[in-house]
């Protein structure tokens, strides 16, 4: 029995397949398991709270875990250790979420592409057909993550408090969210996963995309992401390779991404909302 996991900061999707690639159960979902943010104890607690995972724990032979926060050695090794303690019989491989995005979006194993993640967080890598290259190391939601869910959540809250929202949008925002200052600060500074809390506000954009304010907000973030991340690979882009996108923010911003791509002259490739589906296809082909 094989577990393939797409682990974000907000949620984790687990798919169970057998050695022939057949799905053995419905998708299992747990809270996010970002090892750069959560403690070993907290991660183990989240996994063990899933009755579906605990039911199959002794039957799992392989785990392929792709996750946010797994791009550097220390958190990757910590998460590997926790998974091995829970799934005692499993061979465990933990890789960064950027590789998940590559494997979920490319059209063939050796395709060259720039691959972007725009979900709760954001990132961008170049895949040369064999190896993954990242020229800027992500410093997470506080300093980076342009055009991510947490970036847009932060921008919406700032615009609300700085009175930069149109009145109709401001009223709709107040109706949908608890915006009292102490409540926001409590969630940002005293609760786990403040990045996921910020990202929870991003849904508001896609419910109000008819607003010119929202459209410009989305494009502002994508321009920042393009200039800081995608254009690192200008030399590669000029050869005509595609730029693929994974994650819900990208998926619901396809119109704006295509518009910005014309401005900055790069070729847009595939959009995948949930990388887990592409990952399953990849591992079935490579069993």
Assign residue 52 the CATH number of its domain.
3.30.420.40
Q: With respect to residue 142, please indicate whether it lies within any of the assigned structural domains.
A: no
For the record, the structure tokens of 40 come out as 């070993």
Q: With respect to residue 227, please indicate whether it lies within any of the assigned structural domains.
A: no
For the record, the structure tokens of 8 come out as 């974000």
HEC string of 77-89 equals HHHHHHHHHHCCC
Total structural domains within the chain: 1
What are the tens digits of pLDDT across the range 232-259? 999 999 999 999 999 999 999 999 999 9
Q: With respect to residue 137, please indicate whether it lies within any of the assigned structural domains.
A: no
Q: With respect to residue 258, please indicate whether it lies within any of the assigned structural domains.
A: no
Instruction: Give the range of the structural domain holding residue 16, as residue numbers without chain letter.
Output: 2-97+276-285
Using alpha carbons, select from 135, 113, 38 the residue that is nearest to residue 270.
113
Alpha-carbon distances of 237 from 42, 211, 240, 266, rounded to whole Å: 41, 32, 5, 6
Q: With respect to residue 54, please indicate whether it lies within any of the assigned structural domains.
A: yes
What are the tens digits of pLDDT across the range 19-70? 888 888 888 999 999 998 899 999 999 999 999 999 999 999 999 999 988 9
Q: With respect to residue 145, please indicate whether it lies within any of the assigned structural domains.
A: no
Q: With respect to residue 21, please indicate whether it lies within any of the assigned structural domains.
A: yes
What are the tens digits of pLDDT across the range 3-23? 999 888 778 999 999 888 888
Q: With respect to residue 45, please indicate whether it lies within any of the assigned structural domains.
A: yes
């Amino acid at each position: 029995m094989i577990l393939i996991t797409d682990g974000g900061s907000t949620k984790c999707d687990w798919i169970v397949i057998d050695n022939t690639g057949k799905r053995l159960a419905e998708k299992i979902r747990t809270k996010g398991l970002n090892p750069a943010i959560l403690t070993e104890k907290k991660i183990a607690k989240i996994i063990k709270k899933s009755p579906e995972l605990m039911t199959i724990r002794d039957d799992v032979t392989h785990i392929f875990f792709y996750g946010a926060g797994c791009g550097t050695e220390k958190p990757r090794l910590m998460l590997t250790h926790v998974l091995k303690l829970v799934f005692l019989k499993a061979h465990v491989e933990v890789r960064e979420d950027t590789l998940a995005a590559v494997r979920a979006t490319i059209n063939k194993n050796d395709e060259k592409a720039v691959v972007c993640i725009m979900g709760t967080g954001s990132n961008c890598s170049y895949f040369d057909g064999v190896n993954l290259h990242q020229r800027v190391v992500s410093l997470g939601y506080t300093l980076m993550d342009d055009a991510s869910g947490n970036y847009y959540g932060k921008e919406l809250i700032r615009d609300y408090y700085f009175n930069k929202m149109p009145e109709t949008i401001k009223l709709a925002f107040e109706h949908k969210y608890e915006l009292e200052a102490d409540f926001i600060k409590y969630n940002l500074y005293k609760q786990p996963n403040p990045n996921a809390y910020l990202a929870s506000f991003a849904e508001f954009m896609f419910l109000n995309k008819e607003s010119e304010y929202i459209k410009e907000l989305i494009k502002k973030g994508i321009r920042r992401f393009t200039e800081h991340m995608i254009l690192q690979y200008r030399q590669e882009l000029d050869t005509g390779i595609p730029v693929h996108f994974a994650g819900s923010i990208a998926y619901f911003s396809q119109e704006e991404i295509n518009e910005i791509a014309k401005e900055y002259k790069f070729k847009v490739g595939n959009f995948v909302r949930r990388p887990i589906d592409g990952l399953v296809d990849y591992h079935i082909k490579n069993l």
